[in-house]
Amino acid sequence: MRRLELIGVEGLPEVRPGDDLGQLIAARAELETGDVLVVAQKVVSKAEGRLIDLNDVTAGTEAVRIAGRLIAKPDPRMVQVVLNESVRVLRSERVLITETRHGYVCANAGVDHSNAGGRDTLTLLPVDPDASAERLRARLGQLTGAEVGIIISDTFGRPWRLGIVNVALGVAGLPAMLDLRGTLDDDGSPLHATVLAVADELAAGAGLAMGKTDRTPVVLARGLRLEGHGTGRELIRPPAEDLFR
């Protein structure tokens, strides 16, 4: 009987810039080789100092104009931060959808003010989520001796469905996708288009154990049988294949 466990790592303190996130996790989780840790982007960003104080931001004319067209009527300074973190604005009416420097297409460039540590503080996405995942993986290996996989996750909306789910931004120590094309289905017919986004599936499952207000930003997934190495960047659809760009 196959069994996959999702275990919330509880008791982490408020993470601050410069904190050793690997040490904080290792002190609260008994890790085994083959485990995968899904880590919320927000605590990674905090540890890496990816925070910005709105009091240090001046909104430009375009940010003020866009803020007035959005349903939530956000602070124009927040809109300015979103523009600063983006390479392209795809929609700026009702909601603000942009393309980030990483290539993600998402709301507000991943800029967030919830659980950021202050009313005027925003968190930004890590500069390189894959590199962040690899550093955390190496640090945990150093501290525990366990070879683990790391997924750095964040919540994204989905074009064809309601609601938000966790997706994988950074990946280290496990495949991001499983390409089953060319293998046979149960009837012996070859599969032609089946590529599983396993890192996204794990991130989404871990989101149930994290909760949104339970202060459990790290989830241990145990019982997987995944081999190989991938990156979160592999999950980004190329613009030529993207119906929305």
Encode pLDDT of 106-119 as tens digits.
Answer: 999 999 887 766 77
Strands (DSSP E) along the chain, which ranges?
A: 5-8, 36-40, 51-53, 86-93, 95-100, 105-107, 121-123, 149-158, 161-172, 178-179, 195-196, 218-222
Pairing, β 51-53 against β 121-123: antiparallel
Q: What is the mean pLDDT of the chain?
A: 90
Contact assessment for residue 138 and residue 61, using Cβ atoms and an 8 Å cutoff: no
pLDDT at 245: 64
How many angstroms separate the CA atoms of 47 and 29, rounded?
Answer: 18
Taking only the tens place, the pLDDT of each residue in 125-166 is 999 999 999 999 999 999 999 999 999 999 998 888 899 999
> Three-class SS of residue 224?
coil
pLDDT lower than 50: segments of the chain: none
pTM of the model: 0.91
Q: What is the pLDDT of residue 55?
A: 94
232: left (phi over 0), alpha (psi -120 to 50) or beta: alpha
> What does the domain layout of the chain look like in residue ranges?
5-50+126-236, 52-122
Domain 52-122 in CATH 3.90.1660.10: yes
Q: Per this entry, what is the length of the chain?
A: 245
Supply the pLDDT for residue 72: 86
Tokens 């996204």 label which residue?
A: 200
Given this model, what pLDDT does residue 41 score?
Answer: 96
Same fold, 5-50+126-236 and 52-122: no
Predicted confidence at residue 215, as pLDDT, reads 79
| Res 177: pLDDT | 87
DSSP per-residue letters across 162-173: EEEEEEEEEEES
Please tell me the predicted confidence (pLDDT) of residue 238: 87
* CATH architecture, domain defined by 5-50+126-236: 2-Layer Sandwich (3.30)
Residue 189 has a pLDDT of 60
* C-alpha angle 217-126-237 in degrees, rounded to nearest 5: 100
Strand partners, 151: 38, 171
